[in-house]
Amino acid sequence: MPTPEKPILLRDLKNYLVFLKDYGYSDIPLQPDSILGSGSGKSNLSRPSTETTRQPIMTKTRTNAKPNLLLEEVREELGDCTRCNLHSTRKTIVFGSGNPHADLVFVGEGPGADEDEQGLPFVGRAGKKLTEIIEKGMKLNRERDTYICNIVKCRPPENRDPKPDEVTACNPFLIKQLQAIRPKAIVALGKPSASTLLGRTVPIMKERGTWHEYAGIPLMLTLHPAYLLRAYTLENRRNVMNDMNKVLAKLRE
Ligand code: SF4
């Protein structure tokens, strides 16, 4: 195998250190695998106490810490997860679906009833609308050109919002999914997803269509397809398509 160039190694090292700092570590872990915590409780690193307020779940530096991380390894590590209470009411873990090397990742909030049944994200009515946006609107292929996942992988009962401790428990796996995929752009679907990714309450009607950054990856905020179905106005549909056109332009850069 060719040896990586020194500048690339230095860049990756710098990004790794910034990533650790932003993620709250004050020491350098000896085992790189432990930086995000697998939920196994094995890490003995110094970390700040868990806060109950929303926290940004990734650093603003593109995570090159584990460039060889594979999505299937992340799924394997997740296992038959019982790290938060959502495991007790779920039928299936909805890890994500699509191309593990996609340039574009859509992130929703959590699985609903249809997703819980089938083990796949965005397969209900809202999912069909998302597919329509991707395939008819953006002229992309959902499975080939995108990867779709959620902030929490198990359905919150009665489709309630995930609780902060549930988001915190599941965060490492979303982070690792993005590390493995390393897309060119992320789209946050709806206010809860946008708020969790940015670590603040996002007024989605005001901020949709604007670019942000998440882990060094351009992040577009847009309306959730379920909201679009509820408020199926010409204005909302136009707004979502305008947002997606911005994403397409970003992918072409
Ligand atoms: S929501 Fe995430 S952390 Fe909680 S049980 Fe499901 S997979 Fe595990």
pLDDT in tens, 183-225: 999 999 999 999 999 999 999 999 999 999 987 899 999 999 9
CA of 77 to the centre of ligand 1 (A): 12
Q: Is the CB of 114 under 6 A from ligand 1?
A: no
Region 23-47 average pLDDT: 39
* Whole-number Å distance between alpha carbons of 186 and 104: 6
Residue 230 clears pLDDT 80, i.e. is over it: yes
CA of 138 to the centre of ligand 1 (A): 31
DSSP alpha helix (H) spans, the chain: 6-23, 71-78, 113-118, 125-132, 142-145, 164-181, 191-198, 204-207, 225-230, 234-252
- Provide the mean pLDDT of the chain: 82
Q: Is the CB of 169 under 6 A from ligand 1?
A: yes
Of the candidate CATH numbers 3.40.50.1980, 3.40.50.300, 3.40.470.10, 1.10.275.10, the domain formed by 6-252 belongs to 3.40.470.10
Q: Is the CB of 84 under 6 A from ligand 1?
A: yes
- Tens-place pLDDT, residues 70-122: 999 999 999 999 999 999 999 999 999 999 999 999 999 999 999 999 999 99
- In the prediction, which pLDDT does 216 show? 83
Phi, psi of 89 (to 5 degrees): -115, -5
Residue 33 clears pLDDT 70, i.e. is over it: no
Other beta carbons within 10 angstroms of residue 198's beta carbon come to: 19
What stretch of H or E contains 222? strand 217-222
CA of 156 to the centre of ligand 1 (A): 10
- Residue 166 banded pLDDT, cuts 50, 70, 90: very high
Residue 61 clears pLDDT 90, i.e. is over it: no
- In the prediction, which pLDDT does 249 show? 98
In this structure, the residue with its CA closest to atom 2 of ligand 1 is 170
- Residue 41 banded pLDDT, cuts 50, 70, 90: very low
Residue 24 clears pLDDT 90, i.e. is over it: no
Q: Is the CB of 93 under 6 A from ligand 1?
A: yes
- Tens-place pLDDT, residues 11-21: 445 544 444 44
CA of 3 to the centre of ligand 1 (A): 38
- Which of 45, 38, 103 is closest to 77 using CA atoms? 38
- In the prediction, which pLDDT does 215 show? 79
In this structure, the residue with its CA closest to atom 3 of ligand 1 is 170
- In the prediction, which pLDDT does 89 show? 97
CA of 94 to the centre of ligand 1 (A): 9
Region 50-70 average pLDDT: 48
Instruction: List, in order, residues 6 or more apart from 78 with CB less than 8 Å away.
Output: 93, 95, 153, 173
| Length, in residues, of the chain | 253
Residue 64 clears pLDDT 80, i.e. is over it: no
Residue 9 clears pLDDT 60, i.e. is over it: no
* Whole-number Å distance between alpha carbons of 110 and 160: 9
Q: Which atom of ligand 1 is nearest to the CA of 173?
A: 2
pTM given for the model: 0.76
Beta bridge partners of 146: 104
Q: Enumerate the domain spans of the chain.
A: 6-252
Cα–Cα separations (whole angstroms), residue 3 to 8, 12, 140, 200: 10, 14, 36, 41
- Residue 6 banded pLDDT, cuts 50, 70, 90: low
Instruction: List, in order, residues 6 or more apart from 159 with CB less than 8 Å away.
Output: 112, 113
Q: Which atom of ligand 1 is nearest to the CA of 87?
A: 5
